[in-house]
Structure 1
Amino acid sequence: MRWAGPIVGVCLWAGVASAESDPSEAARLASQMLQQASVALDEADGARNRVRALTATVQAYEAGLEAMRDGLRRAASREAELTARLQAREAEISELIGVLQTMESAPPPVLLLHPSGPLGVARSGMMLAEVTPGLNQRAQALSQDLAEVSDLRSIQQNALATLQEGLTGVQTARSELSKAVADRTDLPKRFAEDPVRTAILISSTETLDAFASGLSEIAGAEIAATNADISERKGAIKLPVSGVLLHKAGAADAAGITREGMIVATRPRALVTTPTAATIRYRGPLLDLGNVVILEPQPDLLFVLSGLNEVYGEAGQVIPRGTPVGLMGGAAPEIGTILSLSGDGTGTDRSETLYIEVREGGSPVDPETWFQTEKDG
């Protein structure tokens, strides 16, 4: 079954991105994205591959909420700009309204009289003919600004119901996705996990280096060979989560600590997916890294993802690209939080961090040699 919903959502998101000069249109397109995600959630109930359908649905909701935040931020900024402009022109506007009201209320015979006689009437008529178009133009510009302010305020007020539906929908989709992943039994496995060996290895190691080098020891059966090769995608692999690069490999974080991997800032409860087809070598809590997922896209290459709140799948499973492997932590944002950020745009709502480390032949390498990071998530 093919899913038109997420495809339409991508097209709408492109439309939102291109509507930079029109915050009203951006907010409307974001509303359509959330509605499309709601339809996709309903359709996912009867999907053959429910995990894939729900994954696309969660991503569609995330894109819609992202677009709504962006649209509201622009709408609030535009409203503030117009309001400041109108306030600055308050005296001019009052004078203009007074002139227009005087012209409108004066009886026609009075307008035709002039103390200087017919010549004065003709001159004043010529002056009035020159001034009137300018007054009309200023009046129309004022009317357009006032109408736009009213429209922007209406959009922000109407966004309340749309945001509530979107936040409720994405929470439902995430919950159903977690259940669908837990119920999944159709994935191939390269090896069976041995929980005892895993526990012994974790208790006997103090660093990620030591754990990664001992990964081959924790399988309960021989690991089937694979000829997977993703080298042609080197440097072009998308990040496993929608986010922005916070710290590069080797750069000091806020605490002055340097790490061999990079840190990506994400929004709370963001969905994390495998960026390539891979074998799950480990998933669960590890050392001081929190919940960790270690993926093996090809022999002697590991992607280490840490900082997740929930992790999906089982060690040994071979999962296709785009398969969900977990959710970020944090509390789902309330409507008031999103609306308060609508005029911000500083990225302070990306409160969660995903640590990504890449290891080749047992040694860490700069993740940016594999991942594409220049684009904002």
Structure 2
Amino acid sequence: MAGVAGLCLALAAPVSGPVAARQAGDAARDAAEALEAASVLLDTADSARDRVAALTDTVRAFEDGLAAMREGLRDAAIRETELTRRLAAQEEEVAQLLGVLTALGNRAQPETLLHPQGPLGTARSGMLVAAVTPGLAAQAAALRADLEEVTALRQLQQNAARTLEEGLSGVQNARTALSQAIADRTDLPRRFTEDPVQTEILIAATETLQGFASGLSQIGEGAEADPLPPIGDRKGLLPLPVRGVLIRGAGEADAAGVTRPGIVLATRPQALVTTPTAATIRYNGPLLDYGLVSILEPQAGLLFVLAGLEAVYGSAGEVLPAGSPVGLMGGADPQAGDVVSPSGEGGGAGRSETLYMEVRQGDQPVDPLDWFTTD
């Protein structure tokens, strides 16, 4: 009996049961619904009055749904691994518990509870058994709940894997459709017509981003659209141009000890980059060691520099409405098997791409976080 009491204590681990299973699975189920809604948006985008805006919303919806699905499935996988390891570590104790419960089951004969010291010893043994049995039953119920939770989580992951694959395919189709819609767009106003020769001369003569930004005002002529209204009243309230996490602030040194006046955002592969406000495209293309760069002018004397893109949309001189796509980040979407791995995206590993963003006011850089807000 003392051994049985010790067994109860050995198995007294924290129990989460069905409640934790629901919590671990709710995010994945909600994400599946979000991906289905994004698929509906993709189907209706062709008939939208503004296909670019509709497809931009569709890509963002897919991005948000996939991000939620990744997190939900990862949490479910971590929870399943935790329970499986805990059950494996308690395998010996579980076997003992099952043996004791079998001995005390309905098929046990009355003489198995007789004590060699007679009626008094038998009575004492009966009292001890009566005290221990509820604990054994509770532990058996806890083990059953853990096993049921593992089964539910595995089923959830199996069901969500197909939805995840469909979502990955859907976002790729949406990006392709968006690129084509942007290429077909002809209704954007133009502030100026770019002179490609002057642009090439400026790039060749430029050694710094500051020098290039200062020379931009000299390569555009023939304004055809009214100047954009000032946005000073929105200073500090503008949304970031991409779904990302701030990993380096303005003036902070990188791993090589280099400091830059802009900020660095970690993003997921193929993330969509949009303009946070209406702006004129001042430059799109490769520049120095920044990779592909998009430079936006939301008002006279103010520039937003977005560097590190894999693809850029539009041409210099076009005036973009707020929220318009300006490019895509690089990298490749993860496979479904990588997403459900407990270590697949932990600690920010899923945000493998970086966007460098600089804000220049006049000829001087300013901290982008003076203009943008983060959550």
TM-score range, shorter chain: 0.7 to 0.9
Deviations 1:59-84 (A, max 9, x none): 11111111122112211221222223
Structure 2: distance between partners of 1:227 and 1:26: 42
Alpha-carbon deviation of 1:275? 0.9
Equivalent residue, structure 2, for 1:134: 135
Equivalent residue, structure 2, for 1:7: none
Checking the alignment, whether the CA contact within 8 Å between 1:280 and 1:319 is kept in structure 2 is yes
The alignment partner of 1:214 has SS state of helix
Structure 2: distance between partners of 1:276 and 1:156: 39
Superposition pairs of residues 216-235 of structure 1, within 5 angstroms: 216-222=217-223, 224-226=225-227, 228-235=229-236
Alpha-carbon deviation of 1:30? 1.8
Question: Structure 1 110/39 Cα, relative in aligned 2: closer, same or farther at 3 Å?
Answer: farther
Equivalent residue, structure 1, for 2:37: 36
Alpha-carbon deviation of 1:122? 5.8
Note if 1:248 corresponds to 2:232.
no
Equivalent residue, structure 2, for 1:371: 372
Checking the alignment, whether the CA contact within 8 Å between 1:265 and 1:352 is kept in structure 2 is yes
Equivalent residue, structure 1, for 2:314: 313
Alpha-carbon deviation of 1:262? 1.1
Equivalent residue, structure 1, for 2:292: 291
Q: Structure 2 length normalisation: TM-score? A: 0.87
Question: Structure 1 341/318 Cα, relative in aligned 2: closer, same or farther at 3 Å?
Answer: farther
Equivalent residue, structure 2, for 1:210: 211
Structure 2: distance between partners of 1:347 and 1:20: 24
Structure 2 spans left out of the alignment, 5+ residues: 1-19
Superposition pairs of residues 116-131 of structure 1, within 5 angstroms: 125-131=126-132
Equivalent residue, structure 2, for 1:345: 346
Shifted more, 32-41 versus 342-351: the winner is 342-351
Question: Structure 1 86/107 Cα, relative in aligned 2: closer, same or farther at 3 Å?
Answer: closer
Checking the alignment, whether the CA contact within 8 Å between 2:272 and 2:328 is kept in structure 1 is yes
The alignment partner of 2:303 has SS state of strand
Equivalent residue, structure 1, for 2:267: 266
Note if 1:334 corresponds to 2:329.
no
Structure 1: distance between partners of 2:334 and 2:345: 15
Structure 2: distance between partners of 1:100 and 1:53: 62
Question: Structure 1 136/20 Cα, relative in aligned 2: closer, same or farther at 3 Å?
Answer: closer
Equivalent residue, structure 2, for 1:68: 69
Alpha-carbon deviation of 1:105? 5.4
Query: Which amino acid is the alignment partner of residue 239 of structure 2?
Result: K
Equivalent residue, structure 2, for 1:11: none
Query: Which amino acid is the alignment partner of residue 206 of structure 1?
Result: E
Deviations 1:221-278 (A, max 9, x none): 1365525122222222221111111221111112222111111111111100011111
Question: Structure 1 46/30 Cα, relative in aligned 2: closer, same or farther at 3 Å?
Answer: same
Structure 1: distance between partners of 2:356 and 2:195: 26
Query: Which amino acid is the alignment partner of residue 86 of structure 2?
Result: R
Question: Structure 1 215/21 Cα, relative in aligned 2: closer, same or farther at 3 Å?
Answer: farther
RMSD between aligned residues: 2.4
Structure 2: distance between partners of 1:271 and 1:343: 22
Equivalent residue, structure 2, for 1:278: 279
Question: Structure 1 343/23 Cα, relative in aligned 2: closer, same or farther at 3 Å?
Answer: farther
Structure 2: distance between partners of 1:149 and 1:47: 44
Note if 1:355 corresponds to 2:356.
yes
Shifted more, 56-65 versus 217-226: the winner is 217-226
Q: Structure 1 length normalisation: TM-score? A: 0.87
Equivalent residue, structure 2, for 1:86: 87
Shifted more, 318-327 versus 198-207: the winner is 198-207
Deviations 1:93-126 (A, max 9, x none): 2121111112225256557867677766665554
Structure 1: distance between partners of 2:133 and 2:245: 54
Structure 2: distance between partners of 1:235 and 1:214: 27
Structure 2: distance between partners of 1:214 and 1:349: 37
Equivalent residue, structure 1, for 2:196: 195
Superposition pairs of residues 109-120 of structure 1, within 5 angstroms: 110=111
Alpha-carbon deviation of 1:87? 2.7
Equivalent residue, structure 1, for 2:11: none
